[in-house]
Amino acid sequence: MKRKKVVAGNWKMNMNLEESKKLISELMQINVENVDVKIAPSFTNLFHSNIMLDSSSIEVISQDMHHEQKGAFTGEISAEMLLGIGIKTSIIGHSERRKYFGETDLILSKKVNSAIENKMKIVFCIGEELMDRNNNNHFDIIESQLRNGIFHIESSQFKNIIIAYEPVWAIGTGMTANSDQIQEMHQFIRDLVNSKFGNEISQNIKILYGGSVKPSNAKEIFSLKDIDGGLIGGASLNFSDFNSIVEAANE
């Protein structure tokens, strides 16, 4: 089964308006056939980023969304608001949201429901802490994050999901999981999807790796059997690194 690779840049809380305009004008040069390229700027940069990339194949996505449609939720952004400015995909469940903003599996499952109800696509993040791995708990953690976060949705909706496996200990630390660890976990995730939703869906689901992906390791990671691309943090903030990673996925 040949799945088209995905490379998504998660800008996190970086890039003011001017910086983001500069990076986007560089990103416009990207022209690849075999990779779906996405960028996730901050909320304040979504609108103009989407306009600037209107005629490009790069998709602009959000880093998060709230599960309610509207109301008294100061500081939050809903699916309806995102759709209103042409944003059709959201990252949900990034480990920084789980860790710093107390987002539990229950909250994340509500966000997933809202995205699905609003016909949005989802990049759903999962990942274990270093302690989980050291205690040999990592498979249990990943399984429970999947079961609690997305396994309740209808199988017909599963095509709207991309899974991003990001071991928390590898995010922004320069430490990358090694190839065996990555392939082993991605295969485990695909097998779980198979046992829940069947072979066809499990063969089609895209599973990205995230955690210190950079130009020097992207090619090796993307060549692994069950890896369908990457969610890129730090290295998505400069054109040259991000472009090299996209090129590595395009091979």
Which residues lie near ligand PGA (CB under 6 A)?
10, 166, 171-172, 210-213, 231-235
Q: Nearest-CB residue to ligand PGA? A: 233
Structure tokens at 94: 């990034």
Looking at the Cβ atoms of 10 and 78, the one nearer to ligand PGA is: 10
Which residue out of 103, 128, 166, 186 is catalytically annotated?
166
Distances (CA, A) of 85 to 39, 75, 236: 15, 17, 23
Looking at the Cβ atoms of 146 and 221, the one nearer to ligand PGA is: 221
Task: Give the Cβ contact number of residue 134 at 10 Å.
Answer: 11
Q: Which residues contact 245 (CB under 8 A, 6 or more apart)?
A: 7, 213, 214, 215, 218, 230, 232, 235, 236
The C-alpha atoms of residue 73 and residue 145 are separated, in whole angstroms, by 25
Which residue out of 67, 94, 138, 186 is catalytically annotated?
94
Active site residue 166: yes
In the complex, minimum distance from the CB of residue 70 to ligand PGA, in angstroms, rounded to a whole number: 28
Looking at the Cβ atoms of 8 and 87, the one nearer to ligand PGA is: 8
The C-alpha atoms of residue 112 and residue 127 are separated, in whole angstroms, by 17
In the complex, minimum distance from the CB of residue 122 to ligand PGA, in angstroms, rounded to a whole number: 15
In the complex, minimum distance from the CB of residue 128 to ligand PGA, in angstroms, rounded to a whole number: 14
Residues carrying an active site annotation: 94, 166
